[in-house]
Amino acid sequence: MKTDFHTHFHTVNKKIDKRGLLPIYLRLTVNRKRKEHSISRRIQSEFWNVKMEKVMGNNAIEKEINTHINNIRHKLNKIHQVLSDNEEPITASRMIKELKGETKQQSKMTLEIFKEHNEQMDRLSGKSISKSTAKRYWTCYNHVEQFLNERYKADDYRMKDIDHQFITKFEYFLKTKRECNHNSALKYVNNFKKIIRIALANQWMDRDPFYNYKVQFDAVEREYLNEEEVQKLIDKDLHLDRLKLVRDMFVFSCYTGLAYSDVKKLSSADITKGIDGDNWIRIKRTKTKSLSSIPLLPIAEKIIEQYKDHPEVKAGSCVLPVLSNQKSNAFLKEIAVMCGISKPLNTHLARHTFATTITLTNGVPIESVSKMLGHKDLRTTQHYAKIVDRKISDDMNELKIKLAEKAEKNITNKKNAKK
């Protein structure tokens, strides 16, 4: 017995979103029984042709929606034919399930998988990953969600449909709509790449959309303070305790290379006697979990001694009382103005200063600097070495002196030989 079916595509006014977009639904009718199904596309009401059941217009978005609707009609015809040929029961629910792929392996949706991943990251936050990393994945999730809404007018997107073009369009969206700079955009693309790797590993995708996609970050020159600027900070007479505290924390970072998060969690247990009998900091970095081993320089030890009677320190929770990163950066801007420093002071600038002005410029080997910074790869430390022009200048001046001495010696030898 032949069973006919009827399709009707329509918008749902009750489900209009904040942007004024209406969702498009399929109403499938088989034997007078209906089944509603969202096609994951949205459109403004004035562009929807009720009679023709399609979007009016010829731009890329409108064409994509109409193509999507036609594909659904085509798939339903094939599903109906297969069920009829196999003499299987034909119902609206069964045909919708076949359309969604639920009778086989259900198609995985991008935001669904992304959200599940991020919720796992939240549970690991502060343990195996940093809180900032977990937060960054949620920011990337929001970017992808907005991208799907604006570019495809979709609430979600099948992972198996993501291709190379999708990735390049996402990068363009980040740089234009979200106004991300080149490196920031590529970092978000890399965050999204992890979700793709999860899908590929679970065989939810047939191909890697990142194949032939090249990531090339722009070189970034890291700002740092020179010796004169560091000394200005140390010598400046500050009358407010909050400014003194932030200045001292910053200087401490300049002479230890510790990032803000590591200074904040630094405890007395992290300070031990080194092989030379002096005090060393040995701490696992919050960001990478790699070990940093840093001999304490006199200025850093003096700052620790200065705050040993502070209530927070005496309570045993820290070595230095540290304000929030947001407040610290705000106060550092005040301090920079007071010290006549034009560079944009922030807590991370201190780590760059340690790597350049305090260590590399003073001849500390790059391998030792890398170990103290807790870098896993020497190439990361080499970024700092590239910008130490003063060290290069000093080395070349020494070479000039040696070459001049050799030249003078050769002239003397020639004169003596003539005699």
Q: What is the pLDDT of residue 65?
A: 95
Q: Please tell me the distance from the alpha carbon of residue 377 to that of residue 392, in angstroms, as a whole number.
A: 22
Tell me which DSSP letter residue 107 carries.
P
Q: What is the pLDDT of residue 105?
A: 54
**What three-state secondary structure class fits 277?**
coil
84-137 pLDDT, tens digit each: 887 788 899 989 988 887 765 567 899 999 999 999 999 998 777 878 889 999
| Beta pairing partners, 55 | 48
Number of other residues whose CB lies within 10 A of the CB of residue 184: 13
Number of other residues whose CB lies within 10 A of the CB of residue 114: 23
**What three-state secondary structure class fits 386?**
coil
Q: What is the pLDDT of residue 345?
A: 92
**Taking CA 173 as the corner, what is the angle to CA 171 and CA 177, rounded to the nearest 5 degrees?**
140
Q: What is the pLDDT of residue 171?
A: 96
Q: Please tell me the distance from the alpha carbon of residue 150 to that of residue 147, in angstroms, as a whole number.
A: 5
Most confident of 169-178, 222-231, 399-408: 169-178
Mean pLDDT of the chain: 89
The answer to whether residues 226 and 183 touch, using CB atoms and an 8 Å cutoff, is no
HSE-CB at 273 with a 13 A cutoff on CA atoms is: 2
Q: What is the pLDDT of residue 376?
A: 79
155-167 pLDDT, tens digit each: 999 998 999 999 9
Which pLDDT band holds residue 407 (cuts at 50, 70, 90)?
confident
Q: What is the pLDDT of residue 275?
A: 87
Q: Please tell me the distance from the alpha carbon of residue 87 to that of residue 89, in angstroms, as a whole number.
A: 7
Segments making up each domain of the chain, as ranges:
5-100, 110-201, 227-387, 392-419
> What contacts 209, CB < 8 A, 6 or more positions away?
162, 163, 164, 166, 167, 196
Is pLDDT above 90 for 247?
yes
Architecture of the domain defined by 227-387: Orthogonal Bundle (1.10)
The answer to whether residues 257 and 354 touch, using CB atoms and an 8 Å cutoff, is yes
Is pLDDT above 70 for 256?
yes
The answer to whether residues 271 and 280 touch, using CB atoms and an 8 Å cutoff, is yes
The answer to whether residues 261 and 345 touch, using CB atoms and an 8 Å cutoff, is no
| Burial category of 408 from C-beta neighbours within 10 Å (exposed 0-12, middle 13-18, buried 19 and up) | exposed
Q: Which of 68-72, 159-163, 363-367 has the weakest average pLDDT?
A: 363-367
pTM passes above 0.95: no
Question: Nearest CA to 92 among 37, 40, 53, 54?
Answer: 37
CA distances from 95 to 18, 103, 192 (A): 32, 10, 33
